[in-house]
Structure 1
Amino acid sequence: MTAGSKTLATYSNLNKAAGYSQKSFDLSSPAGSTVTLKFNGVEDSSLQTSFVVDDTALTTG
């Protein structure tokens, strides 16, 4: 992480769902700043974990 960076959420296979789950985050605190969104998926060789991102949106005011 770089200086001033913030992790909005961390999920694992313990957060499994039967289908898609909608997630929302408040990004008003860095208003007027450059925002970089990153999605990172990690798994090991013992169990597959599927991480799916679909229909992302960022709304500014």
Structure 2
Amino acid sequence: MVDQRIERIYSYTIADKWNFRKNMVRLVLTVILLVLVTACGSIGLLPTSDLVQKAIALGLEVRFVA
């Protein structure tokens, strides 16, 4: 009886292995995306005040022209 339970616990099907691999790929992609998103703030890709002023001026210009 105990052997059957142990066998059931350790017997993986092909679908189980596929789901595990799919979940691992999702996890790795999520980690990569999180690293990229958080790295953008630390390597200087944030907009500068000069760039923000130019964007506001361009937005106002487009609003008054249209």
- Give the alignment's TM-score, normalised by structure 2: 0.18
- Give the alignment's TM-score, normalised by structure 1: 0.19
**Greater percentage in helix:** 2
